[in-house]
Amino acid sequence: MYLEHFGLHSFPFGITPDTGFYFDSPSHQEALNVLLVALRNGEGFLKVTGEVGTGKTLLCRRLLHLLDEEFVTAYIPNPFLTATALRMALAEELGIQFARNIGQHRLLKLITERLIELNAAGKRVVLLLDEAQALPDESLEALRLLTNLETEKDKLLLVVLFGQPELDTRLAQKNFRQLRQRIVFAHRLRPLDAQEATAYLHHRLAIAGGAGREFFAANAVRALTRASRGVPRLLNILGHKALMAAFGQGATQIHARHVRHAIADTPDTHGATPLSRWRQPTWLFGTLGALGTAATVAGVSLMMWGL
């Protein structure tokens, strides 16, 4: 296993959104700070968008960890739900008991009563929806109607949408103008620049047990940044494969040649081999030999990617 080879205690470049590895880039910090302020002020509708792999889910989970006892949170990670299913998911998150064949009018009444109860107790209720671009049109409208629930002074339900840029495209349509006008804060996460990408790599390696060591040569960092376009998920995938390539060659530092091996068989990176021409990368066979057996690699990979 390359952990022992590099003196690490955990895999530094997993692609699951582990808040233990959260990197507070300027773009994420700005989004997080404004979200916290807006929610504490009781702002009703907030939106964060970003390209695939820019860290929206990780930001969402970080926000969940930072919201204190003043808040009651409802988290829906997969909102590809009908309007009925969305209301049921919210009710379940709020701890409401209901029959599965309940009428929608009755369910909405139970949700309203629960929100009023929590408001009277001094709690703010926040609904966070990840992958919000997947919400069907009827569910987006149901969501807007839910934010109509309010007292004379307070919104009973605060909503934060996390989604890909397609969400912005959909909300720009005329039929969503009422919902669009309710969004009081919107932020677009941007990829990491070269300096931030370098800090990101060092940050994750330090958490994994490699503090104070230079694992990546300067030419490797440049290659990683260019190929990944600063997208954190791609940086993780390439970083993991580059470590494997270096380990397979017995190297203790990752150089550009190792990164090139990783790039060649990683789709959506700058310089990757087109999928139509993709073959099992020859560099991997050296790594397989170093690890001993293909079964060992399979186990390592499964642990690495959280499968």
Question: Could you list the mean pLDDT of each consecutive 10-residue stretch along the chain, which spans 307 residues?
Answer: 91 94 96 95 92 96 95 94 96 95 94 96 96 95 92 92 96 93 94 95 96 94 95 96 93 94 86 54 53 43 42
pLDDT, residue 296, reads 43
pTM: 0.87
Collect all residues with Cβ–Cβ distance below 8 Å to 65 and sequence separation of at least 6.
19
pLDDT, residue 306, reads 41
pLDDT, residue 286, reads 55
Provide the CATH topology of domain 26-189: Rossmann fold (3.40.50)
What CA–CA distance (Å, rounded) separates 285 from 45? 51
pLDDT, residue 281, reads 56
**Matching CATH number, 193-304, of 1.20.1740, 2.60.120, 1.10.3470, 1.10.8:** 1.10.8
Where does CATH 1.10.8 sit in the chain? 193-304
pLDDT, residue 153, reads 86
pLDDT, residue 265, reads 81
Where does CATH 3.40.50.300 sit in the chain? 26-189
Query: Helix axis angle, 104-120 relative to 83-93, nearest 10°?
Result: 30
| Helix, strand, coil share (%) of the chain residues, nearest 5 | 55, 10, 35
